[in-house]
Amino acid sequence: MDSDMDYERPNVETIKCVVVGDNAVGKTRLICARACNATLTQYQLLATHVPTVWAIDQYRVCQELLERSRDVVDDVSVSLRLWDTFGDHHKDRRFAYGR
């Protein structure tokens, strides 16, 4: 799951966080708020649900998101990758969990 940009940084540990939950519970809004450093208003939180999956490759196409995903924890450089999943249990989510 490392992006090409992280291959240039061998001392960065990539942490994959898969967000799982039922339909319409706010998984995508939670991920977008964290990834974009945004505070959501009550209106945004209560807005009509639109089924969506936050694009996993956002870290590859947006340098700002990639930089925001990086931090230092206990003197270790990490890159947090948030993965969105379908809330519908009938859809295949296995791709998100890796091998």
Instruction: Tell me if 42 is assigned to some domain.
Output: yes
d(CA 57, CA 54): 9
pLDDT at 94: 55
Instruction: Tell me if 98 is assigned to some domain.
Output: no
Does residue 4 register a pLDDT over 50?
Answer: no
The parent domain of residue 25 ranges over: 4-93
Q: DSSP letters of 16-78?
A: EEE----TTSSHHHHHHHHHTT-PPPHHHHHSPP------TTHHHH-HHHHHHTEEEETTEEE
pLDDT tens digits for range 36-89: 787 778 777 677 666 665 566 677 778 888 888 899 999 999 998 888 877 665
The count of domains in the chain is 1
Q: What is the pTM of this model?
A: 0.62
Does residue 34 register a pLDDT over 60?
Answer: yes
Work out the average pLDDT over 3-9.
Answer: 50
Instruction: Tell me if 99 is assigned to some domain.
Output: no
